Structure 1
Amino acid sequence: MRTPVLDAHTHVWPDHIAARALAGRVPGMDASFDGTVAGLRAAMDRSGVDRAVVMGIADHARHVHRTNEFIGGLRSERLVPFGTVHPELSVEENLDSLRRHHVHGVKLHPLFQGFSLDDRRIWALLEAFDDEFPVITHVGKGGTPETDRRATPAMLADIVRTFPRLRLVACHFGGFHRLDEAEEQVVGLPVVLETSWPPTLAGLDAARVREVIRRHGADRIVFGSDWPMSDPATEIEVLRNLGLTEQETAGILGGNLARWLVGADAAEVTA
């Protein structure tokens, strides 16, 4: 029986703003797809992804409620909505927006939202989330010297140690284009790591990726494509060819995330 494939990392926008939202989003990197809900569903069908975490991000506080309304409205058997918060709103306003719009969890994106992961306003939110709202966060570089400083592996490590009850996934193996730091400061900590590395994970040495997965524990790794920046079909193929066991690969491609989404300790996951 085939293990369902789950994608931990996709982004969408309303049709009328998707092209504008993606234009120049990350300096030096172009999106591979259009960022619409229909585009995501087509990519899922083509790549064999059964279920995806779909994320909305409010770059500004004034857009939080509207973004959560949009993303929460996508909840279905195939799409798991992860909404947004902003440190310029109070903890209570952020929590109310998440609950009112029935989002499953929260995506933090310091690059676009203008805060750093060590911002104590963000820490106040993380404390309030406790184990109610799982969190997925970008970690690593962002294309400019300023954004590169907003989400470092060291900041992530501090969060992991400070909030042991927080259900947390760190994107890009805990450090996009900061993999040396992530290997030193994050790998092995009690946090779930996600595999996306746009434009493709194939840009990393397969032996190194395999070693990172084994050191951290394959049961605490989840597949993410970062659609629309990358093609899920390509990324799945890269993961299948890393030389991991069938059990490890099945867990990464679906079993681990399925358990995490319902609150199970990822360390207990077996594919």
Structure 2
Amino acid sequence: MNPDFPPIIDAHAHCGVLDKSWPQSCEDYERHIDGTGIHGVAFFSPVYEIYDRYDAHFADTPAWQARRRQSNTHLLSLNPAGLSVFPYFFIWNDFAVEQLTPGHRGIKWHRHPGEPKYHYDDPRCLAALDEIRRRRLPVVLEEELEHTVRFIGGLAQGIRVIIPHLGGLNGGFRAISAAGLWDLDHVWADTALASRAEIREYLQRYGHRRLMFGSDFPFGEPAEELHKIRSLNLDDQVETAILGGNFKRLQAAVDHR
């Protein structure tokens, strides 16, 4: 790493060990970032390693619980040369926060319309959020708009929440704006697959201190997503913050005990 340039960190990428539908191993990711200057990545398990997203009536089983454990544990085992990995724990309705370790650097909380739903009224959900809050782990929340508003406005008080894609899959950038969520100090965002226009508007209205570069690999190409940020011709200080500085500041607050 050239000491004259700050490290670039991808705050949103997927890495799988069980789901073979996409080339999404750590080695695949490394090939895609060759020559980009990316030296760190927040990895999430692929959705299909966590629950059956194609079954709206999905019922959890011991086999799926074992699958989740294997997937989340795999991320903890990654230690590639020249790339710092920040494993995020993908949580589901067993709310298995007892599996969290000091190596976990955040939480992935994800579903799309038509997919099985989180059991927000389960007492284990509130207990899990208490543990996430205690550990000061950030939560990447990809949910429908109504659940995003409920989560941020009530359930997740005191937890830093990252809305990915600048809200693209949480109801849209402007819907999140209309709900007043971008104004909240504990709500962050990543740029994965967001448009240049939305990134510019976010920066003009809300500043740069809670915005992070993300690629959404393998659905996004890290080099192209990085070029998108650099093509905005931002001030050096702003670009440096988005490309890694803000992620480092977010991680500095995590309690690793």
Could you say which TM-score interval applies, normalised by the shorter chain? 0.7 to 0.9
Structure 1 residues 120, 128: CA separation in 2 closer, same or farther (over 3 Å shift)?
Answer: farther
Which residue of structure 1 lines up, in the alignment, with residue 202 of structure 2?
Answer: 212
Structure 1 residues 255, 110: CA separation in 2 closer, same or farther (over 3 Å shift)?
Answer: same
Please identify, of 125-134 and 218-227, the stretch whose mean Cα deviation from structure 2 is larger.
125-134
Which residue of structure 1 lines up, in the alignment, with residue 73 of structure 2?
Answer: 69
Please identify, of 67-76 and 234-243, the stretch whose mean Cα deviation from structure 2 is larger.
67-76
- State the TM-score, normalizing by the size of structure 2: 0.78
- Determine whether 1:128 maps to 2:122: no
Q: What is the aligned-residue identity percentage?
A: 21
How many residues are treated as equivalent by the alignment?
Answer: 227
Deviations 1:176-221 (A, max 9, x none): 2622212212221221111112xxx4xx3x3442111232221100
- Determine whether 1:82 maps to 2:88: yes
Cα distance between partner residues in 1 of 2:162 and 2:172: 17
1:172 Cα deviation after fit: 1.1
Cα distance between partner residues in 1 of 2:239 and 2:177: 20
Cα distance between partner residues in 2 of 1:44 and 1:180: 31
Structure 1 residues 115, 75: CA separation in 2 closer, same or farther (over 3 Å shift)?
Answer: farther
Cα distance between partner residues in 2 of 1:213 and 1:195: 11
- Structure 2, unmatched stretches of 5+, are 52-63
Cα distance between partner residues in 1 of 2:152 and 2:78: 30
Cα distance between partner residues in 1 of 2:138 and 2:189: 12
- State the TM-score, normalizing by the size of structure 1: 0.74
Structure 1 residues 125, 214: CA separation in 2 closer, same or farther (over 3 Å shift)?
Answer: farther
Which residue of structure 2 lines up, in the alignment, with residue 137 of structure 1?
Answer: 140
Query: Of 149, 153, 161, which residue of structure 1 is paired with 2:145?
Result: 153
Cα distance between partner residues in 2 of 1:95 and 1:113: 22
Task: Answer whether contact 1:136 1:171 (CA < 8 A) is retained.
Answer: no
Task: Answer whether contact 2:191 2:199 (CA < 8 A) is retained.
Answer: no
RMSD: 2.5
Query: Of 182, 192, 208, which residue of structure 2 is paired with 1:187?
Result: 182
Correspondence list, 1:1-271, <5 A: 1-14=4-17, 17-20=18-21, 22=22, 34-57=23-46, 58-59=50-51, 60-75=64-79, 78-87=84-93, 89=94, 91=95, 94-99=96-101, 102-111=103-112, 114-116=116-118, 119-121=120-122, 122-132=125-135, 134-139=137-142, 151-162=143-154, 163-176=156-169, 178-185=172-179, 186-190=181-185, 191-197=187-193, 201=194, 204=195, 206-263=196-253
